[in-house]
Structure formats: structure tokens, C-alpha cells
Amino acid sequence: MAKQSPPVWDVKKSAPKNAARKLPRLAGRYFKAGRELVNRRASLEVLHQFRLETKRFRYTLELFRPCYGPGLDKRLTSLRKIQDLLGEINDCVTTQNILGRKQNILAEFLQRRIARKRRELTRYWQSSFDAAGRERWWSDYLERFARKA
């Protein structure tokens, strides 16, 4: 996923109005990138970039936590799960890079763990995070439930 430019906010509008106008599109781009990631065999570098994008998306949403109710916390929890799975994959890759390929037993263990975590990420993405109607659940919420902080 290519790094996205930050949304351009309308300084004449309130934070909730800006959030309702911009965050649904941001969520749509995130879902599109996630679908592309799980529907093809993404490289480890692409997974790492998506992890960073997930972090940026989550932090952006957290900035607007006062504009939304507890529904945002549910969404952030599911986003953290994606971030955690991507982080575990990245930790394995980093450990492999530090140790090098000379440590065969550990390298094989890490490869199996990466494969298992990739499957877990794909399964969670498809069955929970991006299950039928979930993108709309996110977008509708971000658009309609922004309120004054």
C-alpha cells in the first residue's frame, strides 16, 4: 500500500464534521489495501508497509476518539488485532535478519511461525475484520456518529 497523503481538513468546520467527511474515505482506502494484501501472496516488505499503514490509521482514529462514542473503541480493538498480527510477523522477520540463515533450526521455526501468523491474519481479516458488511459498519459509523467532543 502506498503511503497516503494526510486528509486535508476544512479549518472552517468542527473536528466532528471534518472526521465525518474524511475518515470514511480513509477507512475505505484501508479496507481496499487490506483486501489486496490478503488476496495475494504479499511480500514480507509489503506486510511491513501495511503494518505501518495500520498504525497510522489507528493513530488517526484515536485522535478523533472524543468525537465518537464507544463504537469507535470496538473498531479500534479489531484494528489493534490486525496490528498485533502484523507485528508478530515483523518480529519473526527481524529475528531472522539478526540471526541470519545460519541458525537452521531457529530459522525453520520462524518460517513456520510467519506462515502460521500470515494464515491467522488472512483468516481474521476475512472472517472478522472484513466480514460481510464490515466496511460499511466502519464507514457509516465514522460518517454518522461524529459528535462534539
> What separation in angstroms does the CA of 69 have from each of 64, 81, 84, 99?
10, 20, 24, 45
Handedness of CA 114, 116, 119, 120 (dihedral sign): negative
User: Which residue spans within 2-59 are E strands per DSSP?
Assistant: none
Cell readout for 58 is 489507528
Please say if the pLDDT value at position 1 is more than 90.
Answer: no
As a whole number of angstroms, the distance between CA 122 and CA 129 comes to: 10
Nearest to 44 by CA among 4, 86, 85: 86
The string of pLDDT tens digits covering residues 81-110 is 999 999 999 999 998 888 876 677 888 888
The string of pLDDT tens digits covering residues 118-141 is 999 999 999 999 999 999 999 999
> Following CA atoms 119, 36, 125, 24 in sequence, which dihedral angle do they give, to the nearest 10 degrees?
160
As a whole number of angstroms, the distance between CA 61 and CA 73 comes to: 10
As a whole number of angstroms, the distance between CA 42 and CA 48 comes to: 10
Which pTM does this prediction carry? Answer: 0.79
R_g over Cα of the chain: 17
Q: What is the CATH number of domain 15-144?
A: 1.40.20.10
In this prediction, residue 104 carries a pLDDT of 79
As a whole number of angstroms, the distance between CA 140 and CA 98 comes to: 44
| Domain boundaries of the chain, sorted by first residue | 15-144
The string of pLDDT tens digits covering residues 55-84 is 999 999 999 999 998 999 999 999 999 999
